[in-house]
Amino acid sequence: MDLIFPEKKEAFTRLLSGLDSVTELGPSVSLATSYPPSEITRRIDQDTASLDELSRILKARRNDFTPIFSLPPEVMWSILELCARNEPPQAGPVGPTLATRGWKARIPATHEKLGWIKMGHICQRLRSVVLGIPALWASIAFTLPKGHEEILVRAQSAPLTIELIHQPPAGMPQITISRLQFARRIALDLVVPEAEDLWSSLATIERPNSKVFSVLENLSVSAARLLEDITTSSLDATPIRAPRLRRLKLQNHFVPCNFSSLETLDLDLNLNLPIPYEARNSARPHKILDGDIVREILSRCTNLRRLALCGTQFGILPAPSGQHAAISLTRLKHLRLRTPISFVRSVWSNIILGSETQIEVQLHAMDAAFDESIAATSAGEENAFLSTLLSRLGAPHMPKVIGVRLECRVNIETRLVLAVKKLGTLTSERQGPLAEDCEFILDVRVARHERDRTMDAPSLFMQLLQDLPKYVDLAGVETLALYLPRLQGYPAVTWCTILVPYMSVRSLIVDEFPFQDSLWNAFCPAPDSGARPVLPSVVALFVLPDRLMAGGTYGFPPGEKLPLWEDILIGFRHRAEARVGIQQIVFGMFARVEAEQLDELKTVVPQVVDIRLTASYEPGEEFL
C-alpha cells in the first residue's frame, strides 16, 4: 500500500490501531456533528467507492504476479484450450421430450452450465486473455440457447462448431444456415425437425456445383432409422465437397465422401433408439448394412487412425479369399467394436492391424437375454474370440503388458483391460496407477445374462484370471486391479494357486475395503495358518471404488463374507512380520472408511493416504 499511495500510510496505520477509539476518530466525530445525515451518507458512499476501486487496483496488481500470468501467451492459450475441452459450456441436462412429427425430440433444460466461460469472470486480466482466443468462442457459437450473436462477434473469423442435436431456440436455424460454410465441425441429429430441414436444404451437396465446405473437418449426422439401402453406387456417388474432412460419424445414416482422406470413421447402426415401436415396424423397415459394403468401405479407408463399428444392423463380412485379401489397417491407432460376436469375428478375419493398435471390444448379444440357445452359442463364440485376442498380445513383437484390470459388474458384465507403458499419456481412469503413463492395448467387455448356462459372469471372471498367463507374459506386470464379483465356492487356497503368476505385481487395486473374506485370507493369512501371503511383491494397496459401486454392495452369496476389522489389522502385521508388508494404502474418491479406522491403519501401515471426495453430491450426478 505505501509503495503506491504513501500519503495513505498514516491513515491506514491509525485504522489498524483500532477504530473503536473515539479519540483517534476526531475528524469523523466532527463530521458527524457538522453535517446532516444525508451529506454524511453521501461522503461515506464516496469513500466506499474509492476504497472499492483501490481494492480492484491492488487485486489487479497482485494478479500480475500470479504464476500463470508469467507464462508466455501461447502457453496460456494452450492451458485455457485444455480447460475448455475438459469443461465446455452446456445447455443443461436433457429435459422432457417433445413429441414432434411422430418422433421424440430432445430439448434442453432451463438451466445451463457456463463451463470455461467462468474463467473470464475471475479477473480482468484473465478475461482479456479469454476474449483474445476466438477459437474458444467459435467452438460454442451454437451450444448455448442464447447469446449467439455476441459469441459470433467474439469468434471473429475462426471456424465454427455448429450443433443441432436438440430443439433449438427461435431464430437459431436461420443463423446456422448462413454460417454453415464456415463450420469446422457440424453435428446434426435428424430426429430434431430443424436439423432434418437443414439437412434437406443441403441435398445439393451431391451436385457438382454444390457449396464447398472448405474448413469442415468433423461431420456427425444421426437419424432414427437407416431407411435407404447402401450400395456400391452409394459409395461412388458424388462426395460431399469438404477437402479437409477427416472425422466422420454416422448413426443410421450415410454420407458419400472421400473415404481415403478420413482419419476417424464411426458407424453406428442400431435399433435401440427412442422411437415408437410402430415406426420401427412400419412399411419402411430399418435397413441392414450388407457385409460386402462394410468391407468395401474399410478397403477405401487407407488412412484411418480410429475406427468404430457399433450396433446390431451390420451384415457379416465374407471370409477373405483369393479375390478379396485381408485389408491392411496397420496405421490404425484405435479400434472399437460394439456389435454381436458374429460380426466382430468376421471383421477380425478381414483386417490386419499394427502392434500398437488399441482394441476396444464390447460383446453383448441382444437376443441372448430371451433365447437360451442363442445365449449358449454366443457364449461359446465369445470365449473362442477372447482366446484369439489374448493370443495376439502374446506375440513376440507386441508391447509388454504392465497392468491388468479385471472386473465384474453386478455379476453381469465382465471386463478385462491390459495396459502397456506409454509415457506422457492419460487413460480413462481418474485415479490410481493406471491413470497415466500407460495406454490400454486391450479393453474387452462381455455381458452374460441369466439364461447363459455355459459360463456366467463370475465364472468368466475367474477363468480369465486363471487363463491369462497362458497367453500373455506377466513377468512385467506392476499393477493388478481386481473388482470382484460376488463369488461363491472359491476358498483361499484357490486364490493362492490362481495368483501365483502375478508375483511381480507391486500395486494392487480393489474396489472395496476390506475385500471379500476368501481373497483376504489369501492376501493376509492368519498367523496360525502357516500360509505365506499371496502377491508378495505388493507394497501399495489402492481402494478405488467406482461411483456406481460406492453407494453400497449387492449382497454376498452364502458362505461369503467380509473379514472382521480386528483380523484386518492382524493380517497387515503378519505380512510385515513375513517381510512382505504393505507400505502404503490409498483410499480414493468414494471409498468408505471411518476416521478412527484410518487412525488404526496408521499403526500397522507406514503410509495411509485419504483422497476421498468430501463434497456432497446428488445421486446420479456426474463427477467432473
DSSP string, 235-261: HTSPPPS-TT--EEEEES------GGG
Q: How far apart are CA 128 and CA 122, in angstroms?
A: 11
Confidence of residue 203 (pLDDT cuts 50, 70, 90): low
Q: Which of 54-68, 101-115, 253-267 has the lowest mean pLDDT?
A: 101-115
* Nearest one of 341, 300, 586 to 446, comparing CA atoms: 341
Question: For 409-426, what is the mean pLDDT?
Answer: 90
Q: Given phi > 0 = left and psi -120 to 50 = alpha, else beta, which region is 18?
A: left
Worst-scoring range by mean pLDDT, 42-46, 164-168, 349-353, 427-431?
164-168
CB 448 within 8 A of CB 382: no
pLDDT of residue 194: 78
- The CA distance from 238 to 256, in Å, is 7
Q: Return d(Cα 28, Cα 46) in angstroms, integer.
A: 15
DSSP letter assigned to residue 380: H
Region 187-193 average pLDDT = 86
Asked if residue 512 and residue 418 are part of one domain, the reply reads no
User: With bands split at pLDDT 50, 70 and 90, how would you rate the model's confidence at 552?
Assistant: very low
Q: Are 455 and 561 found together in one domain?
A: no
DSSP 129-164: HHHT-HHHHHTTTTTSSS-HHHHHHHHTTSPEEEEE
Query: Residue 31: what pLDDT?
Result: 52
Statement: residue 175 has pLDDT above 80? no
Same domain, 519 and 613: yes
Do residues 604 and 572 share a domain?
yes
pLDDT in tens, 233-262: 989 988 888 999 999 999 999 999 999 999
Per-residue pLDDT tens digits for 368-394: 444 455 556 678 889 999 999 999 998
Question: For residue 450, is it within any domain?
Answer: yes
Same domain, 530 and 616: yes
Average pLDDT over residues 530-544: 94
Q: Note the pLDDT of residue 210.
A: 62
Q: What is the mean pLDDT of residues 127-138?
A: 87
Which among 167-171, 222-226, 306-310, 378-382 has the top mean pLDDT? 306-310
Determine the Cα–Cα distance for residues 163 and 139; give it in Å rounded to an integer: 10
- Counting Cα atoms < 13 Å in the Cβ hemisphere of 546 gives 13
Taking only the tens place, the pLDDT of each residue in 472-531 is 999 999 999 999 887 666 888 999 999 999 999 999 999 988 888 889 999 999 888 888
Q: How confident is the model at residue 96 (pLDDT cuts 50, 70, 90)?
A: very low
Domain extent, residue 13, equals 6-63
What is the reported pLDDT for 481?
97
For residue 604, is it within any domain? Answer: yes
Rounded Cα–Cα distance for residues 180 and 269 (Å): 26
Rounded to an integer, what distance in angstroms lies between the CA atom of residue 482 and that of residue 406? 5
29: number of Cβ within 10 Å: 11
Are residue 538 and residue 505 in the same domain, yes or no?
Answer: yes
The pLDDT value recorded for residue 275 is 45
Q: How confident is the model at residue 341, as a pLDDT?
A: 93
pLDDT at 101: 36
Question: Which is more confidently placed, 177 or 17?
Answer: 177
538 and 465 in one domain?
Answer: no
Average of per-residue pLDDT across 130-134: 88
Check residue 483 and give its pLDDT: 93
Instruction: Report the chain's mean pLDDT, rounded to a whole number.
Output: 80
C-alpha cell at 471: 497367453
pLDDT of residue 457: 84
| Residue 89 counted as domain residue | no
Query: What is the model's pLDDT at position 5?
Result: 46
d(CA 200, CA 215): 21
- Give pLDDT, residue 506: 98
Same domain, 519 and 466: no
Give 164's pLDDT tier (boundaries 50, 70, 90).
Answer: confident
pLDDT of residue 448: 78
Residues 494 and 453 in one domain: no
At 336, give phi and psi (nearest 5°).
-125, 125
Query: Hey, which residues does 328 pair with through a beta bridge?
Result: 352
pLDDT at residue 279 in the model: 47
Instruction: Report yes or no: 505 and 535 within 8 Å, Cβ to Cβ.
Output: yes
Whether residue 561 is found in the same domain as residue 514: yes
pLDDT grade for 458, boundaries at 50, 70 and 90: confident
Q: How far apart are CA 368 and CA 447, in angstroms?
A: 10
Considering only 106-120, 281-295, 558-572, 580-594, which range has the smallest mean pLDDT?
Answer: 106-120
Point out the domain boundary residue: 63, 81, 103: 63
CB atoms < 10 A from the CB of 251, how many? 20
Q: Is the pLDDT of residue 65 over 90?
A: no
Task: Assess contact for 550 and 583: CB atoms under 8 A.
Answer: no
- Which of these three, 40, 63, 86, is where a domain ends? 63
Residue 233 lies in a domain: no
Return the pLDDT at 412.
83
Give me the pLDDT at residue 32, please.
Answer: 52
Which of 474, 497, 520 is a domain's end point?
Answer: 474
Among 365, 443, 362, 453, smallest CA distance to 406 is for 443
For the chain, percent of residues with pLDDT exceeding 90: 39
Q: Which helix (H) or strand (E) holds 186?
A: strand 183-189
pTM here?
A: 0.80
Position 449 scores a pLDDT of 64
For residue 401, count other CB atoms closer than 10 A to its CB.
23
> DSSP per residue over 438-504, as a string?
EEEEEEEEEE--TT--S--HHHHHHHHHHHHHHHS--TT--EEEEE-----S--HHHHHHHTGGGTT
DSSP letter assigned to residue 536: T
In terms of domains, do 468 and 511 share one?
A: no
351 residue type, one letter: I
At 563, the amino acid letter reads: P
Residue 461: its pLDDT value, please? 92
542 shares its domain with 445: no
- Rounded mean pLDDT, 434-459: 82
Q: Is residue 86 part of a domain?
A: no
Task: Judge whether 152 lies within some domain.
Answer: no
Report the C-alpha gap between 336 and 45 in whole angstroms. 65
Instruction: Tell me which residue has cell 465441425.
Output: 185
pLDDT at position 118 is: 84
CB 413, CB 445: distance < 8 Å: yes
pLDDT for res 452: 52
The total domain count for the chain is 3
The pLDDT value given to residue 248? 97
Residue 136 placed within a domain: no
What pLDDT is attached to residue 613? Answer: 54
**How is residue 193 annotated by DSSP?**
H
Closest Cα partner for 492 from 430, 552, 560?
560
**pLDDT score at 372:** 54
> Taking residues 414-437, what's their average pLDDT?
93
184, pLDDT greater than 50: yes
Q: Which run of H or E residues covers position 124? A: helix 124-131
Q: Which three cell numbers stand for residue 564?
A: 472382521
**For the chain, what's the residue count?**
624
What cell was used for 215? 474448413
470 φ/ψ angles, rounded to the nearest 5 degrees? -70, -25
pLDDT of residue 549 exceeding 80, the answer is: no
Cα distance between residue 265 and residue 247, in whole Å: 6
Tell me if 367 is assigned to some domain. yes
Residues β-bridged to residue 444: 361, 416
pLDDT surpassing 50 at residue 135: yes
- The region of weakest confidence among 82-91, 327-336, 366-375, 376-385 is 366-375
